[in-house]
Amino acid sequence: MPEALTSVTPWRQELAQSLRDPDALWQYLQLPPEHLPAARALAKEFPLVAPMPFVRRITPQTMNDPLLMQLCPVAAEAQAVPGFSHDPVGERLAQVQPGMLRKYHGRALLITTSSCAIHCRYCFRRHFPYAQRARGPGWWRPAIAHIAADDSIDEVILSGGDPLMLSDEQLAQVVSEIAAIQHVQRLRIHSRLPIMIPQRLDLSCRQWLNQDSLQMVLVLHANHAQEIDEQVCQSLQPLRQEGVHLLNQAVLLRGINDSAQAQRLLGERLLSAGVLPYYLHALDPVAGAAHFHIGDQEAIAIMDELHRLTAGYLVPRLVREVPGEAGKRWIWPSGNDHGDCT
Ligand SMILES: *Cc1c(COP(=O)(O)O)cnc(C)c1O
Ligand code: SF4
């Protein structure tokens, strides 16, 4: 095959075919036209991005479909609600500049890219420019040098945005440099792409994921059982065989997964794909996402019921990130006495 053709991989083709226009989404899913003007207006503030493999899992003509609600601009976003700000996690972003976060013991988090395959309406990043500032070749080297010089770091986390938006050439390079550091035992990747575009986990991706000297952990992000279809299960299968540990983090979202039953089904569906639930995040109080908010009391009641309904290993930890704390705060099980030994 000519080289020009081999470079356009199936997952990049899927990415390019994502819906970015509310009109196209409305047409594809035959949504009620009265909601379209609001969607057009809100998409100007935070653009719609919806990859087709995910869109195909949405039930047509259904505004309250749990997958559609995650990506569809709606009128409620325009309401200003006290306590929901444009920069709820200012500290987190302030540290983004050097491309590395070092907040928790033993773990260094590398911000690889700011782009994502989907724009989640509840994301704190909705108020920040998504456009990727071009980074020069070897942009990761200062961070890697820092990690190499600090032998208390035994785990490196690739985060974003979504690290799997980078090319396999770049990821293979970064990962091989991390693997060469003696004291790094584990590499963790936080990515929503395998849920959005399962073809992302292709052969060339699995090649760099297969590292002898590192324990590999892939933390996915699915909020609802309906996100995990046969294609997702099948694309994860080879990773399991290669010994990659699969975990999931979700966000607790009003109208999407705000019941013990929805959480139970999510956990069971994840397990059938070889994935265990890890974290359930309390929503960041970001302006435009207040309609997704669930108070701590209600959230704890959901967790208590979930704990009664299902196996302990299918119950995630309900957490919140609190600036300045040495680990994520556990809301359920309650108190930091269950958590990191800080
Ligand atoms: C979430 C997070 C981690 C990982 O925390 P775990 O509790 O180990 O999942 C590491 N560094 C930063 C900056 C984080 O936000
Ligand atoms: S994939 Fe994650 S980082 Fe990207 S928009 Fe969704 S929640 Fe935000």
Report pLDDT for 96. 39
* Cα 19 to the center of its chain, rounded Å: 19
Q: Identify which of 125, 195, 280, 281 to mutate to test ligand 2's pocket (most ligand atoms within 8 A of the CB).
A: 125
Q: Torsion angle of alpha carbons 114, 120, 122, 124, nearest 10°?
A: 0
Write down the pLDDT at residue 92: 55
Low-confidence stretches of the chain (pLDDT beneath 70):
1-7, 89-98, 129-134, 335-342
Report how far residue 53's alpha carbon sits from residue 197's, in angstroms, rounded to the nearest whole number.
6
- Cβ of 107 less than 6 Å from ligand 1: yes
CA of residue 247 relative to chain centroid, distance: 11
Q: What is the pLDDT of residue 124?
A: 87
The two three-digit tokens of residue 129, written as one number: 């420019």
Q: Over the stretch 243-279, which tens digit does the pLDDT of each residue have? A: 999 999 999 999 999 999 999 999 999 999 999 999 9
Cβ(328) to ligand 1 under 6 A?
A: yes
Instruction: Using the Cα atoms of residue 198, residue 199, residue 205 and residue 209 in order, give the sign of their dihedral.
Output: positive
Please report which ligand is nearest the Cα atom of 326.
Answer: 1
- 3-class SS shares of the chain: helix, strand, coil, % to 5: 40, 15, 45
With a threshold of 0.85, does the pTM exceed it?
yes
**For position 52, what pLDDT does the model report?**
98
- Cα–Cα distance between 106 and 261 in angstroms, integer? 36
DSSP secondary structure letter of residue 114: S
Check residue 137 and give its pLDDT: 85
3-state DSSP call for residue 65?
coil
pLDDT digits (tens, 9 = 90+) for 76-121: 999 999 999 987 766 555 453 467 888 889 999 998 998 999 999 9
Contact 55, 29 (CB under 8 A): yes
